[in-house]
Amino acid sequence: MGIVYDSISQTFHLQGKSSSYIMQLINSKYIAHVHWGRRVRGSNPGGLLVRRRRCSFSPSTDPDDLTLSLDTLPQEFPGYGASDFRVPAYQVQMEDGTTVSELVYESHRIYAGKSPLTGMPSTYVEDENEAESLDIVLADSVIGLKVILTYTVFRDLDVITRSVQFLNVGNRSMKLLRALSFGIDMPSSDFDMLHLSGTWARERHIERRPLVTGGSVIESRRGSSSHSLNPFVALLSKQADEDHSEVYGFSLVYSGSFVAQAEVDPYGTTRVVMGINSFDFSWLLEPGQTFQTPEAVLVYSAEGLGGMSRTYHKLYRTRLCRGHFRDRHRPILINNWEATYFNFNADKIEELARVGKELGLELLVLDDGWFGKRDNDKSSLGDWFVDRNKLPQGMPDLVNRVNQQGLEFGLWFEPEMVSPDSDLYRAHPDWCLHVPGRRRTEARQQLVLDYSRQDVRDYIVKVITDILASSPITYVKWDMNRNMTEIGSAQLPPERQRETSHRYILGLYEVMERITSAFPNVLFESCSGGGGRFDPGMLYYMPQTWTSDNTDAVERLKIQYGTSLVYPISSMGAHVSAVPNHQVHRTTPLDMRGHVAMSGNFGYELDLTAFGEADKEAVKGQVVLYKQLRHLIQFGEFYRLFSPFEQTTAAWMFVSEDKKEALVAFFQVLSEPNAPLRKMRLKGLAPESNYLLYDAGNQDECVEIFGGDELMHVGLHLPIWKGDFRSHLYRLIMEE
């Protein structure tokens, strides 16, 4: 493992667990991309790159070397205006209006460990021996611009992280019009592109399509990473599937508007760029100032999508998420939202807690409606003071009553929003994002607070701190229920108005850092109408996310399956809700709802007090089972078996790191008449060991004993069921 620089061939060789990433200096000036893929020894890295002369429409950069054209050279951080016609990774505008820039190599530095990004979330190391980093300094001496490309390679993972810092070392201001986190030119276009798309209640569905000549773009212009498209893309070899062949993943550690593009040029190479969306973005860089891009995480897998996912899971769970709960069990909770909506009082919440404790639950979460005059979604956001009509004795009394029932207490906030009908808005109408003279578009009867302002950030930190310090609150659900419109700030000058959206995200990160640091023993869960901001940037501050407002078991199969492409199971909130389901009005059995929700951070979102004795006993059984299995579910290795996007069944499994234990979940959405016999091949087991097979709901009696090789290469017989919406959990224990 490590980073090796060969001064003779002027090559940089970054070596991960089983992969290599190689770059070469051309004419001691330009950084060219040579190889990213399976690990090589590096016997002749300087001989791996071949150039050839093209026609005059790809002009030669050096008149003495007609094979060198920036339009065809595979580059690491391409610019605009100096003979490369492909999509750039950066663009800068000078005071005279010109936008030509050309960066050339100046120096580099190799060092142990990994440095944090100032004011930005990023992956990290706990020991400098876990990773090695490389800074490559590029410069445009004509305009006084320096750019530092930072690479980190992790010792035990096939991961390269990349980020960029821009420095104005001249004596004149310049504007960044485009400042992406990386560029990379792949030597082929024989790929499929995979990404995650959707909308509210239908997040992160998998889409795969071939690359074609020209650009394939996914992006958000909403001011957040969004329900619609997730800040992740992958390039897959044509043969790649869940377990085989090469996959290249690109994930952005950022929560705002983003862009990811794969552009195929006329010569069959593919340029991938990713970062802050340049649409409606610019950044004034005055002399002496710097600008830091978000971090991008690049993963190589020779073992298909499954190998890529497990790499992202391990990295994000252990070296992106932080804090007290990173490696701890997540509590089983009851959330009152779908049980009561806004119609509750202290007695009702206490009764929910009493029944929850009877059923074995550990945490009660009070959702929207506890503050201001919040009897519906039309008022009071921003007025973070307890509604004494609902809670006449205040928050400490309610928390105490829930604690006396034996449950911990959690609370919902939506701190980034303000209702026009609120005391906060009446006092500070300029505190929201707005443009003078334009209407203020409302969504869900609310506006977006201007987190680019320090006074707004300080107010939010104070009011939330006051609430959290008033009582032993151990969980916070942080919601955000609309995207940005009329993006402008009353405190920014005209030349900086297009910085507002990114400054908002930086302000949000500051607020989250201050609050989560002040309350390190509180479990924070992010939410944005469900999964509208399920991104790596949020996981840095809050180790789990409410996966979707859609709690229907059938829909959740796709949502949770798609989410698992990038995000660890420990980051996914999943609840059992009432039927008919509130989002799609489908009725599914309690068993299936439980099995789907138990495939994440488990909880309930319904009125437990309305349960009959049979349902209560079933819930008790689910809770007992989850407590036995949650370490495996939340922290085991995850394998996808059957895709709900491809058939009317779904299956996945969790395997402990030592391979001694596994849990398999199988779901039948629709039954089939006179169905053929089918088998389910398992994954991730020790082939030389034997496994005792149990019905997970009845772990006192072994059903059969199978070899790990038999389970993986022959498979388990699937049940033949009549009826839709059926599920089963299998538990495997390695024979001593």
pLDDT of 475 over the 80 cut? yes
Task: Single out the residue in 619, 635, 651 at which a domain terminates.
Answer: 635
Q: What confidence tier does 259 reach under pLDDT thresholds 50, 70, 90?
A: very high
What single-letter DSSP state applies at residue 463?
A: H
Contacts of 172 (CB under 8 A, 6+ apart): 94, 95, 143, 144, 287
Residue 130 has pLDDT above 80, yes or no: yes
Residue 110 shares a structural domain with residue 254:
yes
Backbone angles phi, psi at 260, to 5 degrees: -135, 130
- 32-39 mean pLDDT: 94
The C-alpha R_g of the chain, in whole angstroms, comes to: 27
Residue 51's pLDDT band, with cuts at 50, 70 and 90, is low
What DSSP string describes 35-54? Answer: EEEE----SSGGGS------
- Do 90 and 190 share a domain, yes or no? yes
Beta bridge partners of 46: none
**Residue at which a domain ends, from 601, 635, 669:** 635
Residues 555 and 611 in one domain: yes
Has residue 104 got a pLDDT over 80?
yes
Please say if 549 is a catalytic residue. Answer: yes
The pLDDT value recorded for residue 62 is: 76
Residue 46 binned pLDDT confidence (cut-offs 50, 70, 90): confident
Considering the domain boundaries, does residue 275 fall inside one? yes
Please give the distance of CA 50 from its chain centroid, rounded to a whole number. 37
Please compute the mean of the pLDDT values over residues 492-517 and round it to a whole number: 98
Task: State which H helix or E strand residue 466 sits in.
Answer: helix 454-470
Query: Rounded to whole angstroms, how far apart are CA atoms 312 and 331?
Result: 24
Q: What is the pLDDT of residue 52?
A: 67
Active-site pick, 158, 185, 368, 479: 479
Residue 89 is assigned to a structural domain of this protein: yes
Task: List phi, psi (to 5°) of 114.
Answer: -150, 130
| Averaged pLDDT, 417-446 | 98
Does 344 share its domain with 406?
A: yes
Nearest Cα to Cα of residue 27 among 3, 10, 4: 10
Q: Which residue has the higher pLDDT, 446 or 64?
A: 446
Q: What is the DSSP letter of 677?
A: P
Q: By three-state DSSP, how is residue 619 classified?
A: helix
Using DSSP's 3-state secondary structure scheme, residue 170 falls into coil
What pLDDT does residue 66 have?
A: 63
The enclosing domain of 609 has a CATH number of 3.20.20.70
Residue 450 falls inside a structural domain: yes
End-to-end alpha-carbon separation of the chain, Å? 35
pLDDT higher than 70, residue 1? no
pLDDT band at 57 (very low <50, low <70, confident <90, very high): low
Tell me, yes or no, whether 432 lies in a domain: yes
> Are 268 and 391 found together in one domain?
no
Residue 236: per-residue pLDDT: 98
Angle at 217 between CA 233 and CA 23, to 5 degrees: 60
In this predicted structure, what is the pLDDT of residue 454? 98
Same domain, 392 and 530: yes
In this structure, is residue 355 part of a structural domain? yes
Distance CA 440, CA 561 (A): 38
Q: Clarify whether residues 313 and 448 are in a common domain.
A: no
Q: Are residues 597 and 718 in the same domain?
A: no
Q: Is 479 a catalytic residue?
A: yes
Residue 382 pLDDT more than 80?
A: yes
Give me the number of domains the chain comprises: 3
Give the model's pLDDT for residue 86: 87
Helix (H, G, I), strand (E, B) or coil at 657: coil
Answer whether 226's CB lies under 8 Å from 198's CB.
Answer: no
| pLDDT the model gives residue 375 | 96
pLDDT, position 544: 98
CATH code, domain with 89: 2.70.98.60
Average pLDDT over residues 594-619: 97
Residue 81 is predicted with a pLDDT of 83
Residue 575 predicted with pLDDT over 80: yes
CATH number at residue 679: 2.60.40.1180
Same domain, 404 and 282: no
Is 592 domain-assigned?
Answer: yes
Please indicate whether residue 525 or residue 46 has the higher confidence score (pLDDT).
Answer: 525
pLDDT tens string 291-311: 999 999 999 999 999 999 999
Q: Which of the four pLDDT bands, split at 50, 70 and 90, describes residue 675?
A: confident
If one counts every other C-beta atom within 10 angstroms of the C-beta of residue 578, the result is: 17
pLDDT band of residue 491 (cuts 50, 70, 90) is very high
Q: Which residues lie below 8 Å from residue 62, measured CB to CB, with a gap of 6+?
A: 27, 68
Out of 635, 668, 689, a domain closes at 635
Q: Check: CB of residue 735 under 8 Å from CB of residue 711.
A: no
Q: Report if residue 54 sits inside a domain.
A: no
Q: What confidence tier does 324 reach under pLDDT thresholds 50, 70, 90?
A: very high
Verify that 610 and 661 share a domain, yes or no: no
User: Is residue 53 very low, low, confident or very high in pLDDT (cuts 50, 70, 90)?
Assistant: low
Instruction: Let me know whether 155 and 304 are in one domain.
Output: yes
Percent residues over pLDDT 90 in the chain: 91
Q: Are the C-beta atoms of 531 and 546 separated by less than 8 Å?
A: yes
> What pTM was estimated for this model as a whole?
0.97
Q: Is residue 7 part of a domain?
A: no
Q: Which domain holds residue 677?
A: 641-734
Residue 357 has pLDDT above 80, yes or no: yes
Say if residue 532 is in the same domain as residue 672.
no
Percent of the chain with pLDDT over 70: 98
Taking residues 428-454, what's their average pLDDT? 98
